[in-house]
Chains A and B, each alone.
Chain A
Amino acid sequence: GAVVSQHPSRVICKSGTSVKIECRSLDFQATTMFWYRQFPKQSLMLMATSNEGSKATYEQGVEKDKFLINHASLTLSTLTVTSAHPEDSSFYICSASRGHNTGELFFGEGSRLTVL
């Protein structure tokens, strides 16, 4: 099946710094990528929808200036957590869509962010 790679898988940073997480579709072109966050023992919460070459669409309550999303190519989307704080510590997961059918939606392995 199609592969979506996230990097880094784990990152620890100091409060106030910014962290960038990459999401790559390795063997297909992803017209749309989605970013989710997940707190322990909770479900995945959609943060934003990212379309190649256009601005991301953020879900209600998600700060676009805090979570910067860039989808510069059909194989790469990045999420930057700016001025990270301990409450931003979470599991961030991306998914990539190969087509308009969401059935062709492939998930990355997630990135664990810990902000000290």
Chain B
Amino acid sequence: GESVGLHLPTLSVQEGDNSIINCAYSNSASDYFIWYKQESGKGPQFIIDIRSNMDKRQGQRVTVLLNKTVKHLSLQIAATQPGDSAVYFCAEKRNNQGGKLIFGQGTELSVKP
């Protein structure tokens, strides 16, 4: 469901380590998922997306995993860098609600040098 009113969980990692950010979604009809990165005071930036007919997709230093059985999405960032510090949101496209894009709770990633 929507995450309004909940405060962001945080994840702190050491520079060079891998980061895993998780997201749960609730709508079985969602067939398209996107991860966004948001830096302070800015709009969301597209990172990577995945369709429901896939369970894994890789980009540059990022991998998204999708488990439709338990409605779970994860974003893996390899060799995390200080520039990766930001808030990360997953978003789902709800086909049974006019295709609107609904954002998950978000996770604040902090990378320690």
- The residue in chain B whose Cβ has the minimal distance to the Cβ of A37 is B4
Interface string of A45-68 (1 = CB under 8 A from B): 110010000000100000000000
Question: How many interface residues does A have (CB within 8 Å)?
Answer: 24
Question: How many interface residues does B have (CB within 8 Å)?
Answer: 28
Q: Select the stretch in B60-68, B70-78, B95-103 that faces chain A.
A: B95-103
How far apart are A88's CB and chain B's nearest CB, in angstroms?
Answer: 15
Collect the chain A residues with CB atoms within 8 Å of residue B45's CB.
107
How far apart are A7's CB and chain B's nearest CB, in angstroms?
Answer: 13
How far apart are B48's CB and chain A's nearest CB, in angstroms?
Answer: 11
Q: Are A43 and B32 in contact (CB under 8 A)?
A: no
**Distance of A112 Cα from B44 Cα, bound (Å):** 14
**Distance of A34 Cα from B5 Cα, bound (Å):** 20
| Nearest 6 interchain pairs by C-beta | A107-B43, A43-B3, A44-B103, A102-B93, A109-B43, A45-B4
